[in-house]
Amino acid sequence: MLRGASVVGLVFILAACHTMRPVAADDLTSTSIDRVWVTGTDWSMTIFSAPHVTGDTLAGFVDGAYREVLLSDTRKIEQRVTARGRTTALSVGIGAVVLSGMIYMANRNYVGDGQTCYAGYNGIIVPCCAGKSTINC
């Protein structure tokens, strides 16, 4: 159960840190964009590494093999970028939850009322029965 919650939390954190931004074909002629996601006219998605545009052709590596596609055969070209606003909001939210939990734990009146006493000469720690302790003596 805890592992599943951790995985779901990690997915939300990773999703909040990135977003997709459209890239114009002109941007791929001179800039060094590492990777783009290309949606074809048939709605297929292809990831191009080291993409560049020459004339009316987008070229790059797909799964390690060199590939060229006509720009007229693409619907959109996108790049994955960091989402600073969402990452900041997520960090503030996580901090607020942790701080709230710490304040709640520190202000509980039903925990921490038992005192600890040393019994005997061997240094064994045992709870004292004074006060509102919930431990049977």
pLDDT digits (tens, 9 = 90+) for 95-111: 999 889 888 877 776 66
Number of neighbouring beta carbons within 10 Å of residue 83: 17
The pLDDT of residue 32 is 78
Exposure string of 23-48, with b = 16+ CB inside 10 Å and e = fewer, is beeeebeeeebeebebeeeeeeebeb
For the chain, what are the domain ranges?
2-84, 111-137
What is the gyration radius of the CA atoms in the chain, in angstroms?
29
Regarding pTM above 0.85, the answer is no
Angle, vertex CA 44, rays to CA 42 and CA 49, nearest 5? 135
> 2-84 has which fold?
SH3 type barrels. (2.30.30)
Q: What is the DSSP string of the chain?
A: -HHHHHHHHHHHHHHHHEEEEE--TTHHHHS--SEEEEEETTS-EEEEEEEEEETTEEEEEETTEEEEEEGGGEEEEEEEEE-HHHHHHHHHHHHHHHHHHHHHHHT-SSSS---EEEETTTTEEEE---TT--S--
Cα distance between residue 78 and residue 47, in whole Å? 10
Portion of the chain with pLDDT greater than 70, in percent: 67
Average pLDDT score, the chain? 79
Quick: pLDDT tens for 54-100. Answer: 889 999 999 999 999 999 999 999 998 888 888 888 889 889 998 89
- If phi > 0 it is left, if psi is from -120 to 50 it is alpha, else beta; for residue 135 that is beta
Q: Is the pLDDT of residue 124 over 70?
A: no
